[in-house]
């Protein structure tokens, strides 16, 4: 009883991680939507009178080797990195969720085949597979989205499949069947909405990982291409100056960490809010 | 049961030799064995037995809700049509519109993410041609019918805002949305406390009278049975061992198992205040000995009982119409007075 009551009491609670996480993510979304309002300079404007300036009053985050204002570049990069967070995950989420729901609901040979495909995909190290696909398709953001959609659906598929297998054994699923509803209606109107909680929570974590991955690939020159401002690209720009101009790499790094941290906190907070125990 | 002496309306639902089997070590073994039943219009039939006796499986077999691994044989005739042979489309039309089911746990049988109104509406949408406003009127009418106050407002509420008893009422409202004639109730009052339990039973009785429902009521509670069931069938180890009018079965049982059940009720405790439990355990379906399944636990069992499989049939010497028992020594029970 106490465990049940504890979960019931926690359910619907706005916890501190949820507030902080949502706050951080919201700030970054606003910044990403309206970078012009926050950036003091044009992010691409060269200023040869202010090369590699240390952080100061005129340039709070300093300038890079072309005299571009780091703060402005970090702010404009937020737009791109939030886009990466969403686009790298949303297609995998859509496809994986639908496929996982069908597998969990129908089982049988269809499920068996999909499950084997998943097994094959997860055998490969994630990053190696992504890099291989991008290397094949050519570097760039669009190809990065394609590669992530092609690989990352397995996580959502596995999660949804397991959740639907659980949900379909509950009484309300039988009740829907007894009321004479069509299979697909039972699945997508009754079971899937009840199975979405872990998907949404995982999505938050996944977006945090996507930001890190997007930056890693940007750093490696496989994602966003310079001169486009992207946090990973900015860090890569600064790597040759790390001993003399640390601010070129550190500030975009801080930006990545805060957004990733915010998304993770948001995910944790949602777990509490939805009152579900975390599943691995 | 085919040899009823009284004029009775024809059965709307007939089970004949319904058998459910599971794959096991050596071949398949039966977990429901040759169940035959008739249900008439406006009748409430109690299906009584302990956990694992196959009573819920029987209900689920009628509704075709059993998982694929369980094989069903025999026939379930609903208004002249064999449900077990029905195709998916026919089954969809039957379910909800003609036959519906009430579950044991009102806490889990409602979809938590849809409001009660939406859940009623969905059933009406699936089975009737009513427009949106007519469906809304019908939904309000249904909540009124099952005694949920301020229906108009409650339709917008989600299940978690309902108490257990109210949820069970809401379940019944959803089940009755499209005017089914057959309601299968799987221990609908077991999860409720006693006062609410009584309210739900009264509600079912009233709905039966008002709507002419036929109900199969699965329970392990003989008190509930005596309150609402017209006829009763007692199940043991997947078989019906005794059936007849509820009053007859409960007052003059002709099967030692029924007698044991009655003796083990708290009201019939022995002088030292202990419950008279039936000794032993029901047999495992996979390891059934020949003969009567109850014989190993039966005080009356003779040598024949562990050899011959008894058949459910009228008992020689019983004056009650439709009273049938599957006991080789049923006649001896009459001689002994048939009283628990």
Is B299 a domain residue? no
Smallest CA–CA separation between B103 and chain A, in Å? Answer: 7
Q: Residue B172 and residue A192: Cα distance in Å, rounded? A: 24
CATH number, domain of B93, equals 3.40.50.300
CA dist., res. B314 & res. A267, Å (int)? 66
Residue B147 lies in a domain: no
Which phi-psi region, left, alpha or beta, contains residue B34 (left: φ > 0; alpha: ψ -120 to 50)?
left
CA Rg, chain B, in Å?
21
Put simply, the answer to whether A194 touches B111 (Cβ < 8 Å) is yes
Backbone angles phi, psi at A164, to 5 degrees: -70, -40
The structure's pTM equals: 0.78
Q: Using CB atoms, pick whichever of B92, B103, B174 lies closest to residue A171.
A: B103
The closest alpha carbon to B123, from A280, A89, A190, belongs to A190
**pLDDT score recorded for residue A276:** 53
Rg, C-alpha atoms of chain A: 22
Domain ranges, residue B18: 12-98+180-269
pLDDT, one tens digit for every residue, chain B (340 residues)? 444 445 567 789 999 999 999 887 777 788 898 999 999 999 999 999 888 888 999 999 999 988 888 889 999 999 889 999 999 889 988 998 899 999 888 878 899 889 999 999 999 999 989 999 999 999 999 998 888 999 999 999 999 889 888 998 899 999 988 889 999 999 888 888 888 888 889 999 998 999 889 999 999 888 899 999 999 999 999 999 999 999 989 988 889 999 888 888 877 666 677 777 888 888 887 777 788 888 888 888 888 888 888 888 887 777 677 888 898 888 887 776 544 4
Residues B77 and B79: their CA atoms lie apart, in Å, by 6
Pairing of the two strands B44-48 and B231-236: parallel
List CB contacts of B244: < 8 A, sequence separation 6 or more: B231, B232, B320, B322, B323, B324
The ipTM of this complex is: 0.78
Pick from B184, B244, B236: which is nearest to B63 by CA?
Answer: B184
Query: Closest approach of chain A CAs to the CA of B334, in angstroms?
Result: 42
Closest-CA residue in chain A for B95? A180
The residue of chain B with its CA nearest to that of A179 is B96
Chain A hits for B63, CB-CB cut-off 8 Å, are 178
B126–A190 CB contact, under 8 Å: no
Question: Taking CA atoms, what residue in A is nearest to B92?
Answer: A180
Residue numbers in B near A185 (CB within 8 A): 126
pLDDT given for residue A3 in this prediction: 45
* Cβ-Cβ contacts under 8 Å, A182 against chain B: 92
Q: What average pLDDT does chain A have?
A: 87
Say which of B91, B92, B103 has its CB closest to residue A175: B103
Number of domains in chain B: 1
- Chain A residues within an 8 Å CB radius of B122: 179, 181, 189
Residue ranges per domain, chain A? 19-38+73-274
Mean pLDDT of A114-122: 93
With an 8 Å Cβ cutoff, are B111 and A176 in contact? Answer: yes
Distance from CA of A172 to the nearest CA of B (A): 4
> Cβ contact (<8 Å) for A178 and B100?
yes
Whether B284 is in a domain gets the answer no
Within 10 A of B299 (CB to CB), how many other CB atoms are there? 9
Q: What is the CATH number of domain A19-38+73-274?
A: 1.10.3720.10
Residue B20 pairs in a beta bridge with: B32, B72
Instruction: Give the nearest partner residue to A172 out of B65, B109, B126, using CB atoms.
Output: B109
């Amino acid at each position: 009883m106490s465990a049940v009551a504890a979960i019931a009491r926690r359910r619907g609670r706005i916890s501190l991680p949820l507030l902080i996480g949502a706050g951080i993510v919201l700030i970054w979304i606003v910044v990403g939507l309206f970078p012009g309002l926050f950036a003091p300079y044009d992010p691409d404007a060269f200023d040869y009178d202010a090369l590699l300036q240390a952080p100061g009053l005129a340039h709070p985050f300093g300038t890079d080797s072309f005299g571009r204002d780091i703060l402005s570049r970090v702010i404009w990069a937020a737009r791109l990195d939030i886009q990466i967070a969403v686009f790298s995950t949303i297609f995998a989420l859509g496809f994986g969720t639908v496929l996982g729901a069908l597998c969990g609901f129908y089982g049988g040979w269809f499920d068996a085949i999909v499950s084997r495909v998943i097994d094959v995909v997860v055998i490969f190290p994630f990053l190696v597979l992504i890099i291989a696909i991008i290397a094949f398709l050519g570097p760039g953001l669009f190809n990065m989205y394609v590669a992530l959609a092609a690989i990352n659906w397995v996580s959502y598929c596995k999660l949804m499949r397991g959740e639907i297998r659980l949900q379909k054994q509950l009484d309300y699923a039988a009740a829907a069947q007894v009321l004479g509803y069509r299979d697909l209606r039972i699945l997508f109107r009754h079971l899937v909405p009840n199975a979405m909680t872990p998907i949404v929570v995982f999505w938050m974590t996944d977006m945090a990982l996507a930001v890190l991955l997007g930056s890693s690939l940007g750093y490696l020159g496989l994602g966003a291409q310079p001169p486009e401002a992207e946090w990973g690209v900015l860090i890569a720009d600064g790597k040759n100056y790390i001993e003399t101009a640390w601010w070129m790499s550190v500030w975009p790094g801080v930006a990545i960490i805060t957004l990733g941290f915010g998304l993770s906190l948001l995910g944790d907070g949602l777990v509490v809010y939805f009152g579900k125990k975390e599943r691995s | 049961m085919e040899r009823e002496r009284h004029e009775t309306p024809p059965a709307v639902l007939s089970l004949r030799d319904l058998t459910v089997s599971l794959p096991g070590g050596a071949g398949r073994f039966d977990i429901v064995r040759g169940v035959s039943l008739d249900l008439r219009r406006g009748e409430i039939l109690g299906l009584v037995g302990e956990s694992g006796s196959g009573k819920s499986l029987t209900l689920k077999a009628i509704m075709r809700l059993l998982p694929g691994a369980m094989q069903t044989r025999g026939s379930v005739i609903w208004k002249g049509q064999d449900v077990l042979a029905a195709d998916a489309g026919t089954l969809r039309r039957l379910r909800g519109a003609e036959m519906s089911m009430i579950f044991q746990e009102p806490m889990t049988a409602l979809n938590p993410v849809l409001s009660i109104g939406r859940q009623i509406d969905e059933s009406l949408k699936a089975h009737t041609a009513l427009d949106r406003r007519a469906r809304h009127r019908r939904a309000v009418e249904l909540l009124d019918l099952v005694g949920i106050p301020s229906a108009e407002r409650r339709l917008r509420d989600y299940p978690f805002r309902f108490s257990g008893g109210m949820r069970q009422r809401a379940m019944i409202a959803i089940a009755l949305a499209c005017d089914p004639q057959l309601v299968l109730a799987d221990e609908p009052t077991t999860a409720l406390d006693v006062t609410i339990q009584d309210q739900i039973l009264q509600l079912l009785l009233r709905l039966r009278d008002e709507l002419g429902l036929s109900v199969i009521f699965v329970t392990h509670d003989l008190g509930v049975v005596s309150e609402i069931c017209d006829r009763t069938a007692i199940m043991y180890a997947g078989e019906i061992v005794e059936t007849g009018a509820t009053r007859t079965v409960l007052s003059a049982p002709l099967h030692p198992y029924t007698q044991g059940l009655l003796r083990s009720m708290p009201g019939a405790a022995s002088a030292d205040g202990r419950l008279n439990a039936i000794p032993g355990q029901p047999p495992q379906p996979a390891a059934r000995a020949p003969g009567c399944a109850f014989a190993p636990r039966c005080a009356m069992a003779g040598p024949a009982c562990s050899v011959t499989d008894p058949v459910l049939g009228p008992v020689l010497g019983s004056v009650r119409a439709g009273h049938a028992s599957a006991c080789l020594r049923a006649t001896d029970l009459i001689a002994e007075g048939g009283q628990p």
